[in-house]
């Protein structure tokens, strides 16, 4: 197709990709945690009390809620999160540089394929639990060295959406997409929790299937740069193809291909070095903005242990906690759906070029305040399940922060710098997630070591982080 692809061919298909990945993660998150817990629980009782293990190697879930098992589970998932994000951080800039030279669709295709292999590897480790140590799941991140991991996937899809959408409509698009993804997350977590009662493996296989469905979607996805190249260079297409196929015509090839693409073999190291230095300077000049994303993502890391925390504190089975988190996500999706309408009644700024700037600041501040208040009430809820559930609902109202801030800062940079900005945001958030896994697992372990008195510790620290981000936003405005 000549010319720039239609809006739905980019934004619509990117939305489908993100929804499929959301469903893949959501439907398997609770069963996967239960699978890890059961494996650790089985190993513990094989040593301390083998009589509780039935002929099918199953153990009642309520026996797995003791501090020894939960501490081991927190460490397993925490370090798994740590190793999961290491390759994505290391490869973020190289893949960003690569995406400027090859089609983003190709980058996404390799990314999805490596994700499928990674999921299969984890399934093999968990299925043959008597053969492999459960900690071998930490090596699954090695497969992301090929595709770049979730960071590259999210960044590439967001950049494609941003480039195909008018700046004035970008915030609304993000809110609506996040709302749809939240609904998908609700459906995924709810389905996973329900299917967990049938078999722990059914939702995990479905998660793999949803990831696989991304491949045919990518076949239809169009990168607008490909269309522009086709439009501007249609008369040179046959010649370039012939030059690429004929090794002997080196002089013609050097003349026809742009300088940035010649001598690629010897120029790649210097090009990569320039990319690193460029990104370092960009991150330094936008350090205030990136610090807000970093602190907020660090606070959101408390979600790594929230489900496990609920299950132990209130003696809820993991299936029940899955329904609770799905309900929280549903509240968040409803709020995201109405947030664009609410924003119309917020005060508008005096900036003629960006009249919605002040509205976005109000949403950012309100979201951080709701998140800080919600986790503070969770810390103070004690043994009251109702108070905790109310606090979880308040916390859900902070869902608009990320999209509002990303939309706000997108208008602060040139269009040509959007890819760089989004990749830098992804990098700092990945840094936070690398720290989040073991750090929040460690905080949770310290809390449960003090019994009921120490249980509020993770949420108290999380509230302080959100308040710190709120202070930085005040300076930004």
Which two three-digit tokens encode residue 272? 């990569």
Other C-beta atoms closer than 10 Å to the C-beta of 241 total: 10
CA distance 77 to 68: 15
180 vs 345 pLDDT, higher one: 180
In percent, the amount of the chain with pLDDT more than 90 equals 46
Range name among 64-78, 341-355, 437-451 with the lowest pLDDT average: 341-355
User: Which residue from 220, 177, 164 is spatially nearest to 18, judged by alpha carbons?
Assistant: 177
pLDDT in tens, 232-282: 444 444 443 344 445 444 444 444 444 444 444 445 566 656 767 777 888
440-36-87 Cα angle (round to 5): 60
The per-residue pLDDT for 339 is 85
Which two three-digit tokens encode residue 100? 């400027």
CA distance 292 to 236: 46
pLDDT over 80 at 134, yes or no: yes
pLDDT over 80 at 31, yes or no: yes
Is 96 within 8 Å of 424 (Cβ atoms)?
no
149-171 mean pLDDT = 79
Q: What is the DSSP string of 235-304?
A: GGHHHHHHHHH-TT-HHHHHHHS-GGGTTHHHHHHHHHHHHHHHHHHHHHHTHHHHHHHHHHHHHHTTHH
Confidence bin at 154 (pLDDT 50/70/90): confident
> Is the CA virtual torsion 187, 193, 194, 196 positive or negative?
positive
157-179 mean pLDDT = 78
Confidence bin at 460 (pLDDT 50/70/90): very high
Q: What is the DSSP string of 199-239?
A: -SHHHHHHHHHHHHTHHHHHHH---HHHHHHHHHTGGGHHH
pLDDT over 80 at 105, yes or no: yes
pLDDT over 60 at 355, yes or no: no
Is 193 within 8 Å of 32 (Cβ atoms)?
no
423-446 mean pLDDT = 91
pLDDT over 80 at 421, yes or no: yes
The per-residue pLDDT for 261 is 44
The per-residue pLDDT for 295 is 97
Burial of 383 (C-beta count, 10 Å sphere; 0-12/13-18/19+): exposed
Mean pLDDT of the chain: 83
CA distance 125 to 447: 30
Is 192 within 8 Å of 322 (Cβ atoms)?
yes
The per-residue pLDDT for 440 is 96
The per-residue pLDDT for 477 is 63
pLDDT over 80 at 425, yes or no: yes
CA distance 24 to 80: 18
Confidence bin at 1 (pLDDT 50/70/90): very low
pLDDT over 70 at 222, yes or no: yes
Which two three-digit tokens encode residue 33? 């945690």
Is 455 within 8 Å of 85 (Cβ atoms)?
no
Q: What is the DSSP string of 102-150?
A: S-HHHHHHHHHHHHHHHHHHHHHHHHTTTTS-GGGGGGGGGGHHHH-HH
pTM, rounded to two decimals: 0.74
pLDDT in tens, 370-381: 999 999 999 999
235 vs 170 pLDDT, higher one: 170
Confidence bin at 7 (pLDDT 50/70/90): low
The per-residue pLDDT for 268 is 55
With a CB cutoff of 8 Å and minimum separation 6, the contacts of 75 are 438, 441, 445
The per-residue pLDDT for 215 is 95
Is 210 within 8 Å of 20 (Cβ atoms)?
yes
User: Which residue from 377, 399, 406, 407 is spatially nearest to 330, judged by alpha carbons?
Assistant: 399
Total residues belonging to the chain:
477
205 vs 154 pLDDT, higher one: 205
pLDDT in tens, 136-145: 999 998 988 8
Burial of 29 (C-beta count, 10 Å sphere; 0-12/13-18/19+): buried
CA distance 236 to 241: 9
Which two three-digit tokens encode residue 95? 């893949």
Q: In b/e form, how buried is each residue of 294-330, taking b as 16+ CB within 10 angstroms?
A: bbbbbbbbbebbbbbbbbbbbebbbbebbbbbbbbbb
pLDDT over 90 at 415, yes or no: no
Range name among 104-118, 197-211, 213-227, 309-323 with the lowest pLDDT average: 213-227
Range name among 265-279, 340-354, 399-413 with the lowest pLDDT average: 265-279
Which two three-digit tokens encode residue 118? 């990674």
93-102 mean pLDDT = 73
Domains annotated for the chain, with CATH where assigned, are 7-229+281-476 (1.20.1250.20)
Inter-CA distances, 398 with 41, 62, 97, Å = 35, 33, 33
């Amino acid at each position: 197709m000549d010319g720039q692809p239609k809006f739905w061919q980019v934004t619509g298909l990117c939305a489908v990709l993100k929804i499929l990945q959301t469903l893949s993660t959501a439907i398997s998150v609770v069963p996967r945690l239960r699978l890890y817990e059961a494996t650790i629980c089985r190993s513990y009782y094989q040593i301390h009390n083998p009589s509780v293990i039935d002929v099918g190697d199953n153990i009642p879930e309520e026996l797995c809620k003791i501090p020894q098992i939960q501490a081991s589970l927190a460490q397993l998932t925490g370090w798994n999160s740590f190793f999961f994000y290491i390759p994505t951080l290391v490869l973020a800039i190289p893949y960003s540089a690569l995406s400027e030279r090859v089609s983003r669709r190709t980058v996404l295709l390799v990314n999805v394929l490596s994700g499928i292999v990674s999921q299969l590897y984890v399934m093999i480790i968990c299925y043959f639990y008597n053969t492999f140590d459960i900690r071998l799941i930490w090596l699954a991140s090695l497969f992301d060295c090929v595709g770049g991991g979730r960071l590259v996937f999210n960044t590439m899809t967001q950049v494609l959406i941003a480039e195909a959408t008018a700046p004035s409509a970008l915030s609304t698009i993000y809110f609506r997409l996040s709302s749809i993804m939240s609904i998908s997350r609700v459906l995924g977590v709810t389905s996973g929790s329900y299917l967990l009662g049938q078999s722990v493996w059914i939702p995990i296989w479905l998660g793999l299937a949803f990831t696989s469905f991304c491949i045919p979607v990518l076949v239809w996805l169009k990168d607008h740069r490909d269309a522009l190249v086709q439009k501007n260079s249609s008369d040179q297409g046959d010649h370039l193809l012939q030059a690429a196929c004929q090794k002997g015509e080196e002089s013609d090839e050097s003349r026809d291909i742009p300088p940035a693409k010649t001598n690629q073999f010897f120029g790649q190291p210097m090009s990569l070095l320039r990319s690193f230095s460029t990104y370092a300077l960009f991150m330094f000049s936008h350090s205030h903005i990136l610090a807000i994303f970093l602190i907020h993502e660090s606070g959101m890391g408390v979600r790594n242990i929230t489900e496990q925390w609920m299950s132990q504190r209130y003696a809820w089975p993991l299936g029940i906690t899955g329904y609770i988190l799905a309900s929280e996500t549903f509240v968040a999706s409803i709020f995201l759906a109405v947030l664009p309408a609410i924003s119309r009644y917020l005060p508008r700024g005096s900036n003629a070029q960006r009249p919605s700037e002040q509205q976005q600041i109000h949403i950012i501040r309100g979201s951080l305040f709701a998140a800080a208040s919600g986790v503070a009430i969770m810390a103070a809820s004690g043994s009251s399940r109702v108070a905790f559930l109310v606090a979880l609902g308040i916390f859900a109202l902070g869902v608009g922060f990320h999209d509002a801030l990303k939309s706000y800062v997108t208008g602060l940079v040139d269009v040509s710098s959007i890819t760089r900005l989004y990749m830098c945001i992804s990098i700092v958030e990945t840094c936070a997630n690398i720290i989040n896994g073991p750090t929040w697992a460690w905080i949770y372990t310290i809390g449960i070591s003090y019994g009921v008195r120490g249980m509020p510790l993770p949420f108290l620290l999380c509230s302080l982080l959100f308040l710190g981000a709120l202070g930085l936003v005040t300076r930004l405005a």
